[in-house]
Amino acid sequence: MKTTLILSTALAGMAFAATAQEVNVVSWGGAYEVSQVEAYNKPFAEQTGIKVNMIAADNPATPLKAQVEAGNITGDVFDIEVSDAIRLCDEGALVEIDPADLPPAPDGTPAAEDFIDGALQDCAVANIFWGTVIAYDTTKFEGNAPATAADFFDLEAFPGKRGLPKTPKRTLYLALIADGAAADEIYDLLGSEEGVERAFAKLDTIKNDVVWWEAGAQPVQLLADGEVTMATGYNGRFFDAMVGEGKPFAIIWDGQYMDLDMFAIPKDSPNPEAAMEYLKFATDTQRLADQAKYIAYGPARKSSAALVGLYQDGKTEMGPHMPTNPEYMTTAVMDDPEFWADHDAELTERFNSWLAGS
Amino acid sequence: MANALDPHAAIVTTASGAGDGMLTTADGKPLARALARSQSRARRRAFLLVLPLLAFVVVTFVVPIGQMLQRSFYNDGFSANMPQLSAWFDQNPRGTEPDDAAWEALAGDLVASAEVRSIGVVGTRINYDVPGTRSLFTSTGRKVRGGIEPPYREALLEMDEDWGSARLWNAMREAATPITANFYLASLDRRRAEDGSIEQVPERQRVYVMLFMRTFWLSLLITGLTFILGFPVAHLLATLPMRKSNLLMILVLLPFWTSLLVRTTSWMVLLQQQGVINDILVWLGVIENGQRLQMIYNQTGTIIAMTHILLPFMILPLYSVMRTINPSYVRAARSLGATSWTAFRRIYFPQTLPGLGAGALLVFILAVGYYITPALVGGSSGQLISNLIAEHMTGTLNWSMAAALAALLLASVLILYWLYDRLVGIDNLKLG
């Protein structure tokens, strides 16, 4: 019985290793996955003959960490947030990537200069920027539309429930911005006791009117149901609802929270060569620009910006919907992976304690 | 075949044990030995038969859960990657000021750890005890990757003066032994003070004890509600004529067979402020449009949805026990002059207790570990401890903490089970 088990496992393992020329990519699913399939996977399979298997996860860092812990890596390329990329790299779980190996921009600029600051890490290469932004239901505020982060906290002028993510990372900064803090002093404030107190005090003013969400699709649903009148969420999802489905939403870009998604390759992945091929291919100038055709997330290369054109419907200009639009960048808060690596656990505990108390 | 339950075999064994003359089998072997051999052969065969199931349970259940629980008290993230400094802590008792040897060990370990990229693991481990120190390790690691010159103390303090912090050195001493109670302390909102004694964490960070209490209280409440709602239904099911009770049974089982997620989301549709129930109340004029009731994304939502989802677990055991109750007992009580209430209280109800016990235990234990429903409809006030376990599993990736919380939950359920056994008796449990 046991020998059979071992034998069959070994055979299955051999069979798996024998099917070369494929690569397993773990990503976030939904509209985002569709954009990657269209922009990266299809042309990649056509040009190289390597088959791409897309695997969806709520957050690919979770299966990655679990696979590393278990010592059984089944994915080749993981699409993870920058904080997770740095953390897992520091823990020795990821393959180091030399920027010199990445393809240069079409005009010859080396990759190291072509990528936006922070988009190249020791073990990961960014593909897109995405923003957490406020969206509101335009039918609820006719004649007097909210325009700033402070309006999100103003229940008198803009009545109705609010949708917020149940995490300190994407709520505390918003409270501080709404309370008049500047985007570049957020992390100094959150690093101090007074700053954290100030953020929670501001959140207290709307606590009873908040509906907390956890999955990226929820804020869109809450707005569409009329359950909330304003919510923060991922800009690509709101874009999809507004342009793709014609929902009467509008986005407030003031005080958006910008984050990077990165491709990383774990050590001991089953197809390391194909994984590296895929990573290089998917982060070249044309591919990053192509992805913007399918979802409103900003490419991580400067040279891609010029190539970004129209949405797949052939009439919507993508520029005004991109979180990387220079106009929106002035008040944007950039994700600080070091800060969150240090303080996430502590602030999450405090946030949960604050939530649970009434 | 002889086995332990065979009365003759028992007699023969006792006789041979008494010692008056050896009893032998037909071919001359001592009977006791032959018997033992044949019994052990039977036992081996029985064992081989259950081996597949046993192996399955061990591989898929006992080993992973054991490994997970081990994480709650065993974390070698620091000790395995900082061997020199861990050795120094071993040799020098608590309270020793870090000397040159300690600083040298620290510097050597940091360089080696940065070289093999395990510095993040070390920093993560210390960060659990002293928040805000993870980047101290990783940034120092980046600086020392090429090597570091003595004097080490000055060199490290030059890079970051936090290296001199007494709290940090205490935490490193704690982490130098892989076996730790710190995760259990944290699960009870406690931590080690600088002198090594145990203290409560600041009030604004306390959350786990309160959530444990809430989890048990809500589970108890939900068990009570399923009893109140389920008892009459089970009684109807057991007493109605077959055709009607079958129809009723399907109504009970249909939601039971429906996906959990579907049931939870349909409660969202019903209960939300723009939902069916609020719409009807507004239409009937019971409430104004402006004062729609908040029935979901709070504790109320958790209670309603979980009561509904767990109801069949109460009804089915009650029903199976009620069906076996002979109706003539109640009739006899009535004919002897008992009121219907007395007959119910003294005659009928006590006979349903085994089913009630089974149902209550099932519902309570399921409710204590419930995760997905509170996560979806609980908002902030309807969260249970399982939601924080999930948060540590997938969010903060602090598996040791998740394991400690889960172990406490498991232990408290086992204690309740034991209490139940003492008070009611587990033999009185009847599932069907």
A-B CB pairs within 8 A amount to 104
Q: What is the pLDDT of residue A14?
A: 46
Q: What is the pLDDT of residue A2?
A: 46
Pick from B116, B113, B123: nearest CA to B160 = B123
Pick from A98, A28, A55, A83: nearest CA to A270 = A55
> Rounded mean pLDDT of A15-40?
80
| Same domain, yes or no: B341 and B413 | yes
Residues of chain A in contact with residue B67, where contact means CB-CB under 8 angstroms, are none
Burial annotation A183-200 (CB, 10 A radius, 16+ → b, else e): beebbebbeeeebbebbb
8 Å CB contact of B135 and A342: yes
| Same domain, yes or no: B218 and B342 | yes
Q: What is the fold, at CATH topology level, of the domain defined by A2-129+260-325? A: D-Maltodextrin-Binding Protein; domain 2 (3.40.190)
Same fold, A2-129+260-325 and A130-258+330-356: yes
Selecting from B135, B214, B273 the residue whose C-beta is nearest the C-beta of A338 gives: B135
The alpha-carbon gap from B98 to the nearest alpha carbon of chain A, in Å, equals 25
| Helices marked H in B116-207 | 119-129, 134-144, 152-159, 166-175, 182-187
Does residue A298 contact residue A319 with C-beta atoms inside 8 Å?
A: no
8 Å CB contact of A344 and B205: no
The alpha-carbon gap from B35 to the nearest alpha carbon of chain A, in Å, equals 29
Q: Is B198 inside any structural domain?
A: no
Q: Which amino acid is at B218?
A: L
The architecture of the domain spanning A130-258+330-356 is 3-Layer(aba) Sandwich (3.40)
Q: Which of B129, B205, B278, B405 to mutate to test the interface with A (most CBs of A within 10 A)?
A: B205
| Same domain, yes or no: B58 and B89 | no
Q: Can you give the residue ranges of every domain in chain A?
A: 2-129+260-325, 130-258+330-356
| Helices marked H in B275-348 | 276-284, 299-323, 327-335, 340-342
Residues of chain B in contact with residue A62, where contact means CB-CB under 8 angstroms, are 393-394, 397
Strand partners, A137: A249
8 Å CB contact of B124 and A91: yes
Q: Is B190 inside any structural domain?
A: no
Q: What is the pLDDT of residues A332-358, one digit of tens each?
A: 898 988 888 788 878 888 898 888 775
Residue of A nearest to B116 (CA): A92
Residue of A nearest to B203 (CA): A353
8 Å CB contact of B121 and A92: yes
Q: What is the pLDDT of residue A20?
A: 54
In the three-class reduction of DSSP (H, G, I as helix; E, B as strand; rest coil), residue B198 is classed as strand
Q: Is B58 inside any structural domain?
A: yes
Cβ neighbors of B378 (< 8 A, separation 6 or more) are B297, B298, B299, B301, B302, B384, B387
Cα B230 to Cα B355: distance, rounded to the nearest angstrom: 12
Residues of chain B in contact with residue A63, where contact means CB-CB under 8 angstroms, are none
Residue of B nearest to A224 (CA): B274
Q: Is B203 inside any structural domain?
A: no
Token pair, residue B344, equals 């119910």
Which ipTM did the prediction report? 0.72
The alpha-carbon gap from B247 to the nearest alpha carbon of chain A, in Å, equals 35
Selecting from B141, B204, B397 the residue whose C-beta is nearest the C-beta of A353 gives: B204
| Same domain, yes or no: B315 and B371 | yes
Residue of B nearest to A356 (CA): B381
Residue of B nearest to A337 (CA): B135
Pick from A154, A121, A173, A50: nearest CA to A283 = A121
Q: Which of B394, B396, B398, B400 to mutate to test the interface with A (most CBs of A within 10 A)?
A: B394
What parts of chain B have a pLDDT lower than 50? 1-4, 7, 9-19
8 Å CB contact of A161 and B273: yes
Q: How many Å from the N-terminal Cα to the C-terminal Cα in chain A?
A: 57
| Same domain, yes or no: B160 and B230 | no
Token pair, residue A243, equals 């342009």
| Same domain, yes or no: B417 and B314 | yes
Token pair, residue B407, equals 């172990």
Q: What is the pLDDT of residues B40-84, one digit of tens each?
A: 999 999 999 999 999 999 999 999 899 889 999 999 889 999 999
Residue of B nearest to A123 (CA): B117
**Total domain count for chain B?**
3
Residue B352: its H or E element: helix B349-368
Q: What is the pLDDT of residue B386?
A: 93
| Same domain, yes or no: B50 and B139 | no
8 Å CB contact of A91 and B51: no
Q: What is the pLDDT of residue B185?
A: 93
Q: Is B192 inside any structural domain?
A: no
Does residue B368 contact residue B215 with C-beta atoms inside 8 Å?
A: yes
Residues of chain B in contact with residue A338, where contact means CB-CB under 8 angstroms, are 135, 138-139
Does residue A272 contact residue A265 with C-beta atoms inside 8 Å?
A: yes
Does residue A353 contact residue B205 with C-beta atoms inside 8 Å?
A: yes
The alpha-carbon gap from B4 to the nearest alpha carbon of chain A, in Å, equals 28
- CATH code for the domain in which residue B329 is found: 1.10.3720.10
Asked if the model's pLDDT at residue A7 lies above 70, the reply is: no
The alpha-carbon gap from A63 to the nearest alpha carbon of chain B, in Å, equals 9
For the beta carbon of residue B342, count every other beta carbon within 10 angstroms.
12
Does residue A177 contact residue A225 with C-beta atoms inside 8 Å?
A: no
| Same domain, yes or no: B273 and B408 | yes
Confidence bin at A152 (pLDDT 50/70/90): very high
Q: Which domain holds residue B398?
A: 208-428
8 Å CB contact of A346 and B272: no
| Same domain, yes or no: B319 and B421 | yes
Q: What is the pLDDT of residue A358?
A: 55
Pick from A31, A64, A10, A20: nearest CA to A220 = A31
Residue of A nearest to B214 (CA): A356
8 Å CB contact of A90 and B141: yes
Q: Which of B397, B400, B401 to mutate to test the interface with A (most CBs of A within 10 A)?
A: B397
- Secondary structure of chain A in the HEC alphabet? CHHHHHHHHHHHHHHHHHCCCEEEEEECCHHHHHHHHHHHHHHHHHHHCCEEEEEECCCCHHHHHHHHHHCCCCCCEEEEEHHHHHHHHHCCCECCCCHHHCCCCCCCCCHHHHECCCCECCCEEEEEEEEEEEEEEHHHCCCCCCCCHHHHCCCCCCCCCEEEECCCCCCHHHHHHHCCCCHHHHHHHHCCHHHHHHHHHHHHCCHHHEEEECCCCHHHHHHHHCCCCEEEEEHHHHHHHHHHCCCCEEEEEEEEEEEEEEEECECCCCCHHHHHHHHHHHCCHHHHHHHCCCCCCEECEHHHHCCCCECCCCCCECHHHCCCCHHHHCCCEECCHHHHHHHHHHHHHHHHHHHHCC
Q: Is B24 inside any structural domain?
A: yes
Does residue A247 contact residue A223 with C-beta atoms inside 8 Å?
A: yes
Residues of chain B in contact with residue A348, where contact means CB-CB under 8 angstroms, are 391, 395-396
Does residue A205 contact residue A146 with C-beta atoms inside 8 Å?
A: no
More confident residue, A167 or A31: A167
Residues of chain A in contact with residue B380, where contact means CB-CB under 8 angstroms, are 166, 210, 212, 355-356
Q: What is the pLDDT of residue B21?
A: 65
Longest distance between any two alpha carbons in chain A, whole Å: 75
> Rounded mean pLDDT of A5-18?
47
Q: For chain A, which residues lie within 8 Å of any Cβ of chain B, measuring from their own Cβ? A: 1-2, 58-59, 61-62, 65, 69, 87-92, 161, 166-167, 191, 210-212, 214, 225-227, 338-339, 341-346, 348-350, 352-358
Q: Which of A342, A347, A354, A355 to mutate to test the interface with B (most CBs of B within 10 A)?
A: A342
Q: What is the pLDDT of residue B431?
A: 63
Tokens 């994480």 found at:
B71
8 Å CB contact of B383 and A355: yes
The alpha-carbon gap from B71 to the nearest alpha carbon of chain A, in Å, equals 12
Q: What is the pLDDT of residues B368-404, one digit of tens each?
A: 999 889 988 887 888 899 998 988 887 777 889 999 9
Cα B370 to Cα B384: distance, rounded to the nearest angstrom: 8
| Same domain, yes or no: B63 and B90 | no
The alpha-carbon gap from A54 to the nearest alpha carbon of chain B, in Å, equals 21
Q: What is the pLDDT of residues A53-98, one digit of tens each?
A: 999 887 888 889 888 877 889 999 999 988 889 888 888 899 999 9
Tokens 């359950």 found at:
A227
Residues of chain A in contact with residue B54, where contact means CB-CB under 8 angstroms, are none
Q: Which of B49, B54, B119, B134 to mutate to test the interface with A (most CBs of A within 10 A)?
A: B134
8 Å CB contact of A338 and B141: no
Q: What is the pLDDT of residues A299-330, one digit of tens each?
A: 998 888 888 878 877 778 888 888 888 888 88
8 Å CB contact of B273 and A350: no
- In terms of DSSP bridges, do strands A22-27 and A77-81 run parallel, antiparallel, or are they unpaired? parallel
8 Å CB contact of B388 and A352: yes
Selecting from A212, A227, A358 the residue whose C-beta is nearest the C-beta of B272 gives: A227
